[in-house]
Structures are given as structure tokens and as C-alpha cells.
Amino acid sequence: MNEYVKNLNRIEFVVTYACTGRCKHCSEGSHSRTGVYIDAETAARAVREAAGRFSITSVMTFGGEPLLYPETVCAIHRAATEEGVPKRQLITNGFFSGDKELIRRAARRLAQAGVNDVLLSADAFHQETIPLGPVKEFAKAISGLGVRLRVHPAWVVDKRHKNPYNSRTAAILSEFEGMGILQSNGNVIIPKGNARKYLSDYYDVDQEYTDPYEEDPADVRTVCINPDGSVLDGNIYRTSILKILENYVP
């Protein structure tokens, strides 16, 4: 086995960069409402192949807003469930429809596909452009089905730093707490993409900020597959994920 990937244990999918939000802190810059997304069957095949060879312990789907393309999200998590991957995670802003019935149906489909850990991105930034009503509706629906749900906020500088964004985020989190929904540790915004443009008052733009999600290229534990199928030096539309992993050099 390729020694650089022998410890692979997690597969992530950026299902799409399309998004319903327009967040000021977004590391990906600006988004449109529709866009390229990964084909459901191609993504599911990659999960089955990788989980058949490696000890994959978690599969995660995020975006953009992944629930703009629920077929793909469900296919990925169904494959992970069938392969016995224990952690099947979704990060969503919770806003993909204003129709209560559609929201409840999407929640049921996710639960049936085996999603078992939902991180709901809600905070001062998301709620500048995303209405809280449908997000709460989704939160109620998915947690009512027994799926673990936590609000996953983004903090400016750190959780304890006093600034108007963090105060507004704390108020939003209290609303969810009132519904019995707790929060994750969240993440701290690093000045990249839109965040660099809009939040430079809170950061030293000359300083190099380390991305906490950066991988050691010589010991890849997580692979992230992009909406166009690209991953490492290959593409799952053209080449099996196993071949891509086998051929990988840092």
C-alpha cells in the first residue's frame, strides 16, 4: 500500500460550491445559487471503493450548501452506512427551501440515508442573509428524528473576543438552546476569501494564519473530493479513487 495514504480514515465531499448564503466570512469567496455538483452514483462508488480497502471511520458532506443537491448527499451517506462507516456527518446552513413539507421530507430522507451527525452553521454571518425560520424548521425536523444535531458557529478571533459579531452569534445560539439544541465548539474564522475582505479590522493582515484543517501531505488521513470530482492528483469521474490513492505522491 502507498505509505503516504496508509492511515486514510476520512472522506470529505464538497458536494457543491453553490450556496443559499452570502456570508461575509466565507473562505470560498462569493457563491451563486446553482452550480457544479458531484454526481450521486460516482460519489457513492468512491465511498464504497475506499471503505472496502481502508478503515474509513467518517464520511462528511459539506459545501457551499450541500442540501441544494440532496440526491448526492443521500447517496454518499447511504453508501457509507452500507459499508459500516460509523460517523456520517453533514454540515449545512439549514436553508434550502422555505416549504415546511419539503424541509421535513428532506430531513426524513437524510435520516433514512444514515446521516447521524449534523452540524448546523448558524451565527451572525449566516443570519445576515439566511432567514432563521426555515433553519429552525429543519433543526426541529432532523433532531425530532433522533439525528444528533449541534449548531456550529463561526467566531471572530475566538469565542471570548468581544465584538458585535460574536455578541449576535451568542444571541442566536441562545435561541437554539431554547429549543434544546446545543452547540459544537464551532470554528474560528481565519482571514481567507471573503473574511480577508470584510473582517480585516479584527486581524493582522500581514500575519500568516495557519489553516487548522491543513493535512500533512506525507501522511494523508483525510481526502476531500471537490464538486468536479477532483481529488489529490486525479478525478473520480475518470479514475477509481483507489488508483488515485495508489499513485499519490506528496
Exposure string of 150-177, with b = 16+ CB inside 10 Å and e = fewer, is bbbbbbbeeeeeeeebbeebeebbeebe
Element (H, E) at 118: strand 117-120
CB of 36 to ligand SF4, least distance (A): 14
CA–CA gap between residue 129 and residue 23 (Å, rounded): 7
Q: Is 126 in the site for ligand SF4 (CB under 6 A)?
A: yes
Q: What is the per-residue binding string for ligand SF4 in 184-213, x denoting contact by CB under 6 A?
A: ------------------------------
Grouping H, G, I as helix, E, B as strand and the rest as coil, residue 60 is: strand
CB of 100 to ligand SF4, least distance (A): 21
Reference 96, options 15, 12, 182, 198; nearest CA is 15
Residues 6+ apart with CB under 8 A from 25: 125, 154, 156, 189, 194, 195, 198, 199
**Considering only residues 16, 121, 143, 166, which one is a binding residue for ligand SF4 as defined by CB under 6 A?**
121
CB of 131 to ligand SF4, least distance (A): 13
What is the end-to-end Cα distance of the chain in Å, rounded? 15
Q: Binding segment for ligand SF4 among 59-67, 79-87, 171-179, 239-247 (CB under 6 A)? A: 59-67
The length of the chain, given as a count of residues? 250
Q: Binding segment for ligand SF4 among 63-71, 112-120, 136-144, 238-246 (CB under 6 A)? A: 63-71
In 10 A of CB 231, how many CB atoms? 22
Q: Is 153 in the site for ligand SF4 (CB under 6 A)?
A: no
**Considering only residues 61, 64, 69, 140, which one is a binding residue for ligand SF4 as defined by CB under 6 A?**
64
CB of 64 to ligand SF4, least distance (A): 5
Number of alpha carbons in the 13 Å side-chain half-sphere of residue 56: 28
Q: Which of residues 4-43 bind ligand SF4 (CB under 6 A)?
A: 19, 21-23, 26, 28, 31
Identify which of residues 70 and 234 has a Cβ nearer to ligand SF4 in the complex: 70
Residues near ligand SF4 (CB under 6 A) are 19, 21-23, 26, 28, 31, 63-65, 93, 121, 126
